[in-house]
Structure 1
Amino acid sequence: MNAPLDFGPIKAVIFDMDGLLLDTEGIYTEVTQIIAERYGRTFDWNIKQNIIGRGAGDLARYVVEALDLPISAEEFLLIREPLMRERFPRALAMPGAQELVEHLKANNIPIAVGTSSSSQSFGQKTTLHGDWFALFDTIVTADDPEVGAAKPAPDIFLTAARRLGVAPQDCLVFEDSPFGVTAAKAAGMTAIAVPDAAMADEKYAHADSILRTLKAFQPDVYGLPALEQA
């Protein structure tokens, strides 16, 4: 298959982490529901769909306001932290994630993680996955000293591209959130959305492509080495 006219060939790949490489979104949902219930509130999909991919501070402000919680955003994060720290080490890989990362690394394609998580929570979430996360050439977290603003600002992805030594227009980004896609496009990169099953396609109109699983990705369409057929 020929590469689409607007694409590639891609020289580097940058991955979001939460909900894309690791199945952590269920943990965020569970913890936010626990906090909401303490104050007699209900955290449901109407709110959840608007916070996927936000940085911690932005997320906390949105949730506190949307649920009308009698606490500050800072207090929300303090309450949330131990609940997440207990659960993050059990996070599992998303289907096809480890295989794709290993394939790209084996073919000498520069790869990076660009995440809205802090470096501390990154370490917690990757507890079970140190072997294949060690394959990434660079990890850029929201609290990285070179990052000025979290997604939807492009800083995280631009920092990753700079460290990989690849021009932004030659980078492909995988994202599960509309905010992440916005960040990737603001960085001048090609963006593939891999949304949560409950997210509607129209929220990703600004993505270059939409897949429902990483296992459906065809690297050769973007000028990358093809996956061997099982």
Structure 2
Amino acid sequence: MASPKPVTHVIFDMDGLLLDTERLYTEATQALATPYGKEYTWEVKVGCMGMKGPQAAQHIIDSLDLPLSVSEYLEQIAKHYNALFPTAKLLPGAERLVRHLHKHNIPIAIASGGAQDSFDLKTTNHRDLVSLFGHVVLASSDPEVTKGKPEPDVFLVCARRFPDNPDPSKCLVFEDAPNGVQAGVAAGMQVVMVPDSRLSSELTKGATEVLASLEDFKPERYGLPPFDD
């Protein structure tokens, strides 16, 4: 792992990092695939984590050989998302870390591959926490984000929208997915990765640090205020 350098701004991915939504994505996608006799495997899932919606849809259609267009897929999957996403729960350590950084006036933002409608569903019961972020950039809805992760666009756009427009090297990214780590590194940022325990260690390369949980994060390693407790 690289040696951490001091940062001034923090950017969070959301799915599988702040919110336990990756499990819901899997459940919804398998529900769509089952009538076609297909299985949504972990290998297929890893390949599209962090992608913009249409990009991920095409990846799944191609991987599972589904007889659907991207628009048909998105229409069908939306019904499953509408039922499941409002049940999303925060992952361990997420609320503590976000509230700690906000309390100490560290600029924080969200940069996600998702779209506005699904973001609203997932955060139904977490509006108070989301309100602590300075801004949110959603790759699938934001016209300034031309390419999804693993391209760096979403993180670069997110950095520019901080009021003081920091240099990317001063931004720390939190990610769970290989595509997101690649995007953060390509943006010139340090990346703390909190991967699914099933993920091969080969796919964690590039991260500055790999943690089992946000509960294990030590802010002072990056020049940020240490936890009070």
Q: Same fold (TM over 0.5)?
A: yes
Indicate the residue corresponding to 2:72 in structure 1: 75
In structure 2, what is the Cα distance between the partners aligned to 1:89 and 1:99?
21
Query: Within 1, Cα distance between the matches of 2:152 and 2:36?
Result: 35
Which residue identity does 2:204 align to in structure 1?
Y
Question: How much has 1:5 moved relative to structure 2?
Answer: 8.0
Instruction: Report what 1:155 is aligned to.
Output: 153
Q: CA deviation at 1:195?
A: 0.3
Name the CA distance, whole Å, in 2 between partners of 1:6 and 1:84.
Answer: 39
Letter in 2 for 1:11: T
Gaps of 5+ in 2: none
Corresponding residue for residue 53 of structure 2:
56
Distance 1:171 1:224 in 2: 11
Deviations 1:40-62 (Å, cap 9, x if unpaired)? 11122232222222221111111
> In the aligned structure 1, how far is the partner of 2:112 from the partner of 2:32?
24
| Match in the other structure for 1:199 | 199
**1:197 & 1:178 partners in 2: Cα distance?**
13
Q: Which residue of 1 aligns with 2:93?
A: 96
The equivalent residue for 1:105 is 102
Structure-2 change in CA distance of 1:5 and 1:62 (3 Å):
closer
1:17-32 correspondence runs (5 A): 17-32=14-29
How many residues are aligned here?
226
**Root-mean-square deviation over aligned CA pairs:** 1.3
Give the SS at the match of 1:113. strand
How far apart are the structure 1 equivalents of 2:61 and 2:190?
33
1:143-196 CA deviation, whole Å, 9 max, x = no partner? 112222211111111111111122101000000000001110111000111101
**Any gaps of 5 or more consecutive residues in structure 1?**
none
Instruction: After the TM superposition, list the runs of 4 or more consecutive aligned residues in structure 1 that deviate by more than 4 angstroms.
Output: none
Cα distance, 1:66–1:5 mapped onto 2, change above 3 Å = closer
Distance 1:60 1:145 in 2: 19
2:143 to 142, 145, 149: 145
Structure 1 CA distance, aligned partners of 2:89 and 2:159?
Answer: 27
- Contact 2:170–2:189 (Cα < 8 Å) also in 1: yes
* Preserved contact between residue 24 and residue 85 of structure 2 (Cα < 8 Å): yes
CA separation in 1, counterparts of 2:105 and 2:126? 20
Most deviating of 126-135 and 141-150: 141-150
Q: Partners of 1:113 and 1:15 in 2: how far apart?
A: 5
The percent identity for this pair of structures is 44
Is the 8 Å Cα contact of residues 50 and 148 (structure 2) preserved in structure 1? no
Length-normalised TM-score, structure 1:
0.95
Q: Structure 1 residue 183 and structure 2 residue 180: aligned?
A: no
Deviates more, 1:206-215 or 1:5-14: 5-14
